[in-house]
Structure 1
Amino acid sequence: MLREIVLDTETTGTDAKGGDRLIEIGCVELINHVQTGKVFHQLVNPQRAVSEGAFAVHGISDAMLADKPLFSDIVDAFVAFCGDARLVIHNAPFDVGFLNMEFGRLGPAAPPRIVLEDVVDTLLLARRRHPGAANNLDALCNRYGIDTTRRVKHGALLDAQILAEVYVELLGGKQTSLGLSIAEPSEDAAVRAVADSAPAGPRPLRNRLSEDERARHAAFVESLGTNAVWRDFLGGSETA
């Protein structure tokens, strides 16, 4: 069984390091890429004012947050809901930056920081699927025919629910059943998503070369002459 948490946040502004705070968390549980109906949603008192720019985006006012719990009051419930599931986030550095900032304010009792490389960033995944195109959430919804008429303003839970639909489309199409028959394809798709959303760079070989392949490669390099760059790698070890 593959369990993932699609997550979105809203904040007082865009600068976590400059003092902006998290004000809303929305999470949607996926099992084998199907929404189960289990969600986590919480407004948070940031103990500072919401900027005008942020209010224009999400419509969450200072008055709406005045009686809400502090992040320290809800963090245990949030962490428990996520468990050890993989997080799926659009433009992950933004949300992860705010969550880790809030964790950092909790002192020694804080949960472990979220490792960005462990998160599926659907923005990076979309850019690889649709290079050169607009890949914000609205553009992806238009591309995949996902209804956004309910999305008058940004909201963490609604955006997470919509992103869950977009994520499945980015993986190749909608799943409509929680049946075990889709478990294996779903796991493979998730592995591909993590690979596709990771920064480009050298990747380990999945299989070691056979002796015949090694010999043919050496012969090819020999044919390139004494200055061939490949000669620098002939003696190196392989990674399984």
Structure 2
Amino acid sequence: MRQIVLDTETTGLDWRTGDRIVEIGCVEMIDRRQTGRTFHVYLNPERDVGDSERIHGLSDEFLAGKPLYTSVASEFEIFVADAELIIHNASFDVGFLNMEQERLGRPRIAELCPAVVDTVKLAKEMFPGKKASLDALCERYAISNAHRVLHGALLDAQLLAEVYLAMTRGQESLMDVFEQPLELGGAHSGPRSDRKPLRVLHASEAELAAHEAVLDQMAGKGPCLWRPPVSQG
């Protein structure tokens, strides 16, 4: 299974009011393992970054010489195509990416990728009432983010990849089970000779007596599901 962990940095919070993307960072995972392949680009947003510079540290002067989105769109599409996207607060990033794609008459994210996993939604389902920010999740899973002084698309995507793997750790062992080859014998094959017989342990008299004592206590407080009611008459 191919997954892309994705993050963007922008000039503001709303693409509807003219805000644009200034950075895209992507990390590739295959079968829940990072491959080392990344997609990372800074973009000239064709407008001032304004107050957003204090968030990502990218100045107008720095971005002035960077490529326009139109020059990286094809490469971006190739990198993410047919992969499941993993994004923190997905509606934000997908909204900006769809805007940039539509400006050029190119396909929307839903046409490029089969599914999008929102790790904010996932975190809120797993930990109701708890903070779901990337920093909070890094702290929860003991993932070092000491080097995250400012927001950065590639850095945040790398951190999110580790967070996502920690949040969904049980899926890893499940995948391992599915990946094990089945050992099927022939139509007339007998039992495997290397399989050891199961050892059956029976409760001792003392253990049975202790069990009955617990049931007596439960029955004294009301109907006990583990002991049938005494018939009347």
TM-score by length of 2: 0.72
Partner secondary structure for residue 72 of structure 2: helix
Same amino acid, percent of matched pairs? 52
The separation in 2 between residues aligned to 1:148 and 1:185, in whole angstroms, is 33
Work out the CA distance in 2 between the residues paired with 1:32 and 1:129.
22
Shift of residue 127, structure 1, vs aligned partner: 0.4
Counterpart secondary structure, 1:165: helix
One of 134, 139, 142 as aligned partner of 2:136: 139
> Could you list the runs of 5+ residues in structure 2 that have no partner in the other structure?
180-233
Residue 17 of structure 1 aligns to a residue in which SS?
A: helix
Going from structure 1 to structure 2, the CA distance change for 1:175 and 1:149 (only over 3 Å counts) comes to farther
Shift of 1:172: 2.3
Contact 1:88 1:119 in 2 (8 A): yes
Letter in 1 for 2:70: S
* Larger radius of gyration between Structure 1 and Structure 2: 2
For 1:90 and 1:184, how far apart are their aligned partners in 2? 29
Which AA in structure 1 matches 2:110?
I
Tell whether the 8 Å contact from 1:34 to 1:175 is kept in structure 2 after alignment: no
Looking at structure 2, the residues matched to 142 and 118 of structure 1 have their Cα atoms a distance apart, in angstroms, of: 27
1:114 pairs with 2:110: yes
Q: CA RMSD in A?
A: 2.2
CA distance in 1, matches of 2:67, 2:93: 19
Structure 1: gaps spanning 5 or more residues: 187-240
1:90 equivalent to 2:91? Answer no
Q: Distance in 2 between matches of 1:184 and 1:106?
A: 44
Q: Is the 8 A contact 1:28 1:37 kept in 2?
A: yes
Once the two structures are superposed, residues 112-134 of structure 1 have per-residue CA deviations (whole angstroms, 9 ceiling, x without a partner) of 34379921000000000100000
Paired residues of 1:10 and 1:22 also in contact (CA < 8 A)? yes
Q: Give the distance between the partners of 2:170 and 2:8, measured in 1 at CA.
A: 25
Aligned to 1:103: 101
Where 1:114 maps in the other structure, the secondary structure is: helix
**Contact 2:84 2:114 (C-alpha < 8 Å) held by counterparts:** no
Q: 1:184 to 1:100 in 2, by over 3 A?
A: farther
- Structure 1 residue corresponding to 2:71, chosen from 69, 73, 80: 73
Distance 1:95 1:171 in 2: 22
| Contact 1:96–1:114 (Cα < 8 Å) also in 2 | no
Say if 1:45 and 1:67, in contact at 8 Å, map to a contact too: yes
In the alignment, the residues of structure 2 paired with residue 79 and residue 184 of structure 1 have an alpha-carbon distance, to the nearest angstrom, of 33
Length, aligned pairs only: 178
Letter in 2 for 1:133: K
TM-score, normalised via structure 1 length = 0.70
Q: CA deviation at 1:75?
A: 0.4
Aligned with 2:126 (options 125, 129, 140): 129
